[in-house]
């Protein structure tokens, strides 16, 4: 049994959807809270272990503080592992990756995560409606 009867996104949309994690990696590399928050829909939600932020403003404020705090000098990695169409203009994107501590080159098993991204197509741009991650193992 499949979880959806929605048609798969077009090849161009699949490429645009798969590019969203790369945009997050670039925003993180620049420690750019504005670029990070702009990946989200205006009322998007970000859930991390112990964290719940709703709306671009809260996400931007949180990430700005974290880039100056616990995420200072970190990098992030991630790649899509599956795209699931949920309906017209809505997909679930599953990724695997994580935060790489300062001075490290590779992601440790302890830092590895899996994430669920619910993306919506808004005016031809794929935006995060919901982002949630949890430890991989």
Q: Which residue has the higher pLDDT, 3 or 16?
A: 16
Q: Residue 28 belongs to a domain with what CATH number?
A: 3.10.450.50
Whether residue 5 lies inside any domain: the answer is no
Cα first-last separation, the chain: 26
DSSP codes, 105-133: SS--GGGEEEEEEEEEEETTEEEEEEEEE
Whether residue 58 lies inside any domain: the answer is yes
Residue written as tokens 């997050």? Answer: 24
Whether residue 93 lies inside any domain: the answer is yes
pTM above 0.75, yes or no: yes
Quick: pLDDT tens for 85-120. 999 999 999 999 999 999 999 999 999 999 999 999
Whether residue 73 lies inside any domain: the answer is yes
Structural domain span for residue 127: 11-135
State how many domains the chain has: 1
Whether residue 44 lies inside any domain: the answer is yes
């Amino acid at each position: 049994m499949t979880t959806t009867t929605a048609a798969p996104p077009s090849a161009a949309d699949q490429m645009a959807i798969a590019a969203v994690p790369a945009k997050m990696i670039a925003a993180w590399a620049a420690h750019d809270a504005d670029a990070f928050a702009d990946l989200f829909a205006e009322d998007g939600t970000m859930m991390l272990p112990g964290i719940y932020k709703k709306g671009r403003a809260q996400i931007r404020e949180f990430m700005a503080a974290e880039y100056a705090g616990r995420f200072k000098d970190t990098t992030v990695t991630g790649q899509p592992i599956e795209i699931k169409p949920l309906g017209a203009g809505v997909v679930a994107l599953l990724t695997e990756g994580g935060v790489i501590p300062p001075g490290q080159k590779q992601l440790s098993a302890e830092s590895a995560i899996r994430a669920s991204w619910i993306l919506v197509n808004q005016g031809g741009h794929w935006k995060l409606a919901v982002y949630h991650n949890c430890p991989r193992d």
